[in-house]
Amino acid sequence: MKTAPTLLCKAAGIAPTTTAAMATAIASLLVSLSAPALAQGGDSAYYYGGLSVGQSRAKLNEERMATDKFGPGVSLTGIEKDNKDIGYKIFGGKQWSRNFAIETGYFRLGESSFNATTAPAGTLNGRVRVQGLNLDLVGTLPLTDNLTALARVGGHYAQTRDNFSASGAVAAGNPSPRHNGGGYKAGVGLQYALGASMLVRGELERYRVDDAVGHRSNIDMGTISLVFPFGRAPAAAPRPVAMAAPMVMAPAPAPRPAPVAVAVAPAAAPAPPPRRRVSFSAESLFGFGQTSLRAEGIAALDKFAKELTGTQFDTIAVEGHTDRLGSSAFNQRLSEQRALAVKAYLVDSGRLDPLKISTAGKGETVPVTTAAECKGTRQTPALIFCLQRDRRVDVEVTATR
């Protein structure tokens, strides 16, 4: 591979009718699949595009390719190979949910070459170049808030172009054979989110291709990719933790003077124990649709636990809340798991008594927003942003002093 293409179809070098047919088929499939993404439970659906570059390594049978070109009485005496080159991809796709995406693009797998010597004396030089279009199903598994594992499987329509030159006892025959045909590919990798508008990937892929003289071979490629999402819901900025003022216990009332008749005044009714209620934004504690605490959430809970130092409390009630997006069953389960995660951290890191901490999941039943404020039912970035206040964890402390 010597130069990058300026236009996808021209760069592929595939016959115009073939290119048009492939482009039409891919576009039709993507259009037919463009229904709304399904469940809450990860980033909302979004489109993306990207660029990849890396090293390709061809695993061709150069000996067989060479001997197929020899005439009668000519035998192979030695062969030198150069099967590594720079490859690249241009791609786009749609992330339908946190676990599923469809991706299409153009790839060029570089150039592999060999130099064969023969008896009687002669040489055969060969070069093989592969490029084409692909359509992949991509599975994604979030490992942390920013790190995701990838696995892909798909098909491609590739053009293989061979070029041969011969001298001495070898006749090259057709010096520039070409082959257009389909094949399959697979790969694995990792993806890291640098932010809402940029991701970086590292992947290993294998392409099953035909050379131009009738043999099937593998070409492996390791790449680094930059991925640019379009319309991805940004991670909400952590909301300031609404911390109530430190608890101040009222001083005990001054003793009342006893009557002359030595009658004891009735004791005043005890004041109700002071209460303190803190509301944490779910985005400050967790990733969207997640139950693992983020660094910002850990810092907020550490501050909260530190402020309780020296306070003797009767109970701490932890309530999880979600927005109305997604199913009621999912939201109920998510709110319960988030409340349990907050309790577990306060017990493990804040050294609080677990017997005095209760948890409850309220799901979507106690929203802060109204339907008039946040209109719509379809999971869009705007609606997700509007419903931020509903996604929260409330903590109420009842103290004795």
Report the CATH number at residue 55.
2.40.160.20
- Using CA atoms, how far residue 319 sits from 31, 218, 277, 339, in Å, is 42, 55, 11, 6
Q: Are residues 194 and 337 in the same domain?
A: no
pLDDT tens-place string over residues 287-299: 777 888 888 878 8
The model's pTM is 0.52
* pLDDT of 9 strictly over 50: no
- The whole-number average pLDDT for the span 239-255 is 48
- Same domain, residue pair 168 and 93: yes
**Residues facing residue 221 across a β-bridge:** 56, 205
**297 pairs with which residues across the strands?**
none
Q: Which of 119-128, 206-215, 225-234, 260-269 has the least mean pLDDT?
A: 260-269
Q: Do residues 201 and 112 both lie within one domain?
A: yes
Which pair of tokens denotes residue 83? 């099967």
Cross-strand partners of 358: 317
Q: How far apart are CA 151 and CA 171, in angstroms?
A: 45
Reply yes or no on whether the pLDDT at 246 is more than 70.
no
CATH of residue 355? 3.30.1330.60
Mean pLDDT for the stretch of residues 27-45: 43
Please report the pLDDT score of residue 254 as a whole number: 58
Sorting pLDDT into bands at 50, 70 and 90, what band is 240? very low
Average pLDDT over residues 101-128: 91
Does residue 248 lie within any of the structural domains? Answer: no
Segment 377-400 shows an average pLDDT of 84
Last residue of a domain, one of 230, 265, 287: 230
What number is the average pLDDT over the span 61-78?
79
Does the residue 243 lie in any domain?
Answer: no
Kindly tell me if the per-residue pLDDT of 66 is higher than 90.
no
Please compute the mean of the pLDDT values over residues 239-253 and round it to a whole number: 47
Per-residue model confidence (pLDDT) at position 55: 96
Examine the domain organization and report whether 24 and 161 are in the same domain. Answer: yes
Instruction: Reduce the secondary structure of the chain to three states and give it as a string.
Output: CCCCCCCHHHHHCCCHHHHHHHHHHHHHHHHHCCCCCCCCCCCCCEEEEEEEEEEEEEECCHHHHHHHHCCCCCEEEEEEEECEEEEEEEEEEEEEECCEEEEEEEEEEEEEEEEEEEECCEEEEEEEEEEEEEEEEEEEEECCCCEEEEEEEEEEEEEEEEEEEEEECCCCCCCCCEEEEEEEEEEEEEEEEEECCEEEEEEEEEEEEECCCCCEEEEEEEEEEEEEEECCCCCCCCCCCECCCCCCCCCCCCCCCCCCCCCCCCCCCCCCCCEEEEEEEHHHHECCCCCCECHHHHHHHHHHHHHCCCCCEEEEEEEEECCCCCCHHHHHHHHHHHHHHHHHHHHHCCCCCHHHEEEEECCCCCCCCCCCCCCCCCCCHHHHHHHHHHCEEEEEEEECC
Most confident of 43-47, 58-62, 145-149: 145-149
Same domain? For 175 and 50 the reply is yes
Last residue within a domain, chosen from 230, 253, 283: 230
Percent of the chain residues topping a pLDDT of 70: 76
Q: Compute the average pLDDT of residues 103-113.
A: 94
Asked if the structure places residue 250 within a domain, the reply is: no
Q: Does residue 317 share a domain with residue 222? A: no
* pLDDT of 370 above 60: yes
Mean pLDDT of 230-251: 50
What's the whole-number mean pLDDT along residues 215-237?
A: 81
Best-predicted range by mean pLDDT (52-56, 168-172, 216-220, 362-366): 52-56
Pair 216, 290 in one domain: no
252: in domain: no
Would you place residue 269 in the very low, low, confident or very high pLDDT band (cuts 50, 70, 90)? low
The domain tally of the chain equals 2
Question: Range of 365's domain?
Answer: 275-399
Q: Is residue 216 part of a domain?
A: yes
The tens digit of pLDDT for each residue in 143-195 reads 887 899 999 999 999 999 988 888 877 877 788 889 899 999 999 999 999 98
Structural domain includes residue 259: no
| 1, part of any domain | no
Tokens of 119: 């008896």
Dist. CA 357–CA 65, nearest whole Å = 73
Mean pLDDT of 196-201: 90
pLDDT band, very low/low/confident/very high, at 132 (cuts 50, 70, 90): very high
In a domain, 153, yes or no: yes
Query: Whole-number mean pLDDT of the chain?
Result: 78
For residues 187-207, give the mean pLDDT: 93
| Contact by Cβ (8 Å): 89, 223 | yes
Considering the domain architecture, whether residues 147 and 282 belong to the same structural domain is answered as: no
Q: Are residues 33 and 171 in the same domain?
A: yes
Kindly report which listed range (174-178, 266-270, 341-345) carries the lowest average pLDDT score: 266-270
